[in-house]
Amino acid sequence: MRPLSEITFSPEQVDALSLRVLWSWRVPESYRPLLLSLFGDWFFADSHDRVHMLDLVSGQLRPIADTEVEFFVMLDAEEQRHEWLMSHLVEAAERAGIQRSASQCFAFRTPPSLGGPLSPANLVPWDLAAYQTGTSKLLQQVADLPIGTQVIAT
C-alpha cells in the first residue's frame, strides 16, 4: 500500500489557510484541515476532534470518523482509501499516463456533479488553487439543485 503522502496533500504542502476561505460557505470556521485528496477533497477535524470530509464530487460536508486517531487508523484500510481518497482512480490515472506536478491535483474535465464520469478519460492535471476556486464557485451555484437536474452551460 502506498504511503498517504503519495496520494494526499498535507495542509503544509498547500496554502490550506487561503484555500479554506473558498469553502467558508460550506465549512465552519473552527474546522481544522487535516488532509486533502489528490482530487481536492478536504478532511477536517472539528473542535470535538470528529473528522469530516468535504467531498468535491457531491459538494457535501459529512462526518466520517469520531476522532482524528480513528480517521488515520481507518485510512490504513485499502477500502477506505478507495472510498475517501479515490486511490483506485489515482492509480488508473497514473497508468493512463496522466502526470501532475506537486502543485497540481487531478481535476475532472466535466464535473461529476454535472454528469462527468469518474474515470481517467475525464481527468486532467490542474493547479490545485485554481481547481479549488472553480469547484467552490460551481458547487455553491448548484448546491440547492436536486440530484440529476439537467444543467446547460451558456
Query: How does 10-34 read in b/e, with b if 16+ C-beta sit within 10 Å?
Result: ebeebebeebbebbeeebeeebebb
Contact of 15 with 50, CB cutoff 8 Å = no
User: In this structure, is residue 152 part of a structural domain?
Assistant: no
pLDDT, block means (10 residues), the chain with 154 residues: 96 95 97 98 98 94 98 98 97 97 95 88 97 93 72 64
Residue 154 lies in a domain: no
The answer to whether position 38 is within a domain reads yes
Q: What is the pLDDT of residue 138?
A: 87
Looking at residue 113, what is its pLDDT? 73
For the chain, the domain total comes to 1
**Domain annotation covers residue 29:** yes
Which range marks the domain in which residue 132 is found?
4-142
pLDDT for 142 equals 79
77 located within any domain: yes
DSSP 20-42: HHTTTTTS-TT-EEEEEETT--E
Pull the grid cell for residue 130: 485554481
Would you state the pLDDT for residue 99?
A: 96
Residue 151: inside a domain, yes or no?
A: no
pLDDT in the model for residue 147: 62
Is residue 149 in a domain? no
Residue 144 is predicted with a pLDDT of 74
Q: Report yes or no on 92 lying in a domain.
A: yes
